[in-house]
Amino acid sequence: MPGTLAQAKLLDDEIAAVQGLIERRISERVPAAYLIGSAQFAGLTLRSDARALVPRSPIAELIENGFQPWLGGRPVQRVLDVCTGGGSIAVAMAVRRPDWQVDALDLSPDALALAAENVALHGLQSRLRLLQSDLFAALSDEVYELIVSNPPYITEDEYAAMPGEYRHEPKLGLTSGLDGCDACLRILRDAPRHLAEHGLLIVEVGEAERALKRLLPELPLVWIEFSVGQMGIFAIEARDLRAHRGAVERLCRARAQRVASHQQLAG
Ligand SMILES: C[S@@+](CC[C@H](N)C(=O)[O-])C[C@H]1O[C@@H](n2cnc3c(N)ncnc32)[C@H](O)[C@@H]1O
């Protein structure tokens, strides 16, 4: 009823409440989604607060397009959202695809509590399972046709230069080592164990795309074009990931050894 709304008059206390929110937005730089407690994602309203990042992954566009042409005609039953935060990607996938069984994991109990509220908000409890897990650690032998992830991928230097709004978001959801690639490399290393033979992995790495290409130039990552251009999101087939497993494992081992020897020197 837009006509009726346009004629509505705000009461004095309502005006004061809105002005208070605008004041906090400007002076404290609190994200608008946190101030009003909700955000829009892939056409859905979701609860949003400081327990998880404001939902904003461009993966929303892939969900709305049914992950085409990347999924093609392959049959999909089980999908996994790694680093689900407040559950935006998992919830949107489950709403769009009533035939999919969705698992979603995160390390942060706070983020998972928010995700549980979003699962309940959309009545998805029977088809969407939330797990507290350090990446794939809490999974046993689960296998998925599609694994999607929006992990942290900001470098410490980038984080230091980010606007004040980001300080209101949990740092665990933003930074991932000196080059932003720590979480992504662990996902590339461990995903093969949980991907179906004809499975597909899709990961958002943002600006860490350059570092990742330098680290693993031979990995056949397909960088996805979005309506607004390239967004640092790649797709890779399970068989290609398996073919390069040795190189990814060696790289992860070398990086872990470097971190351990730095810690030894520092301690
Ligand atoms: C970029 S945010 C994901 C945002 C999410 N798409 C949303 O809308 O809320 C990254 C998430 O990764 C989680 N995370 C960081 N390290 C993790 C780890 N080792 N295992 C699982 N989750 C992790 C953070 O808690 C955060 O929720």
Which pLDDT value is given to residue 265?
82
The residue to mutate among 61, 102, 172, having the most atoms of ligand 1 within 8 angstroms of its beta carbon, is 172
Q: Is the peptide bond before 58 cis (omega within 30 degrees of 0)?
A: no
> Homologous superfamily of 27-266 in CATH?
Vaccinia Virus protein VP39 (3.40.50.150)
Q: Which of ligand 1's atoms lies nearest the C-alpha of 46?
A: 8
Structural domain boundaries of the chain?
27-266
Residue with tokens 């179906």: 196
DSSP code per residue over 60-128: HHHHHTTTTTTSTT----EEEEES-TTTHHHHHHHHH-TT-EEEEEES-HHHHHHHHHHHHHTT-TTTE
Interval between CA 10 and ligand 1 midpoint (Å): 39
Which pLDDT value is given to residue 2?
60
Interval between CA 76 and ligand 1 midpoint (Å): 24
Parts of the chain with a pLDDT under 70? 1-3
CA–CA gap between residue 174 and residue 75 (Å, rounded): 33
Q: Which of ligand 1's atoms lies nearest the C-alpha of 59?
A: 6
Which pLDDT value is given to residue 260?
85
Q: Which DSSP letter does residue 172 get?
A: G
Phi, psi at 80, each rounded to 5°: -130, 135
Which pLDDT value is given to residue 1?
56
Retrieve residue 54's tokens.
Answer: 């404001």
Residues with CB under 6 A from ligand 1: 52-53, 55, 57, 83, 85-86, 88-89, 106-108, 111, 134-135, 150-152, 172-173, 183
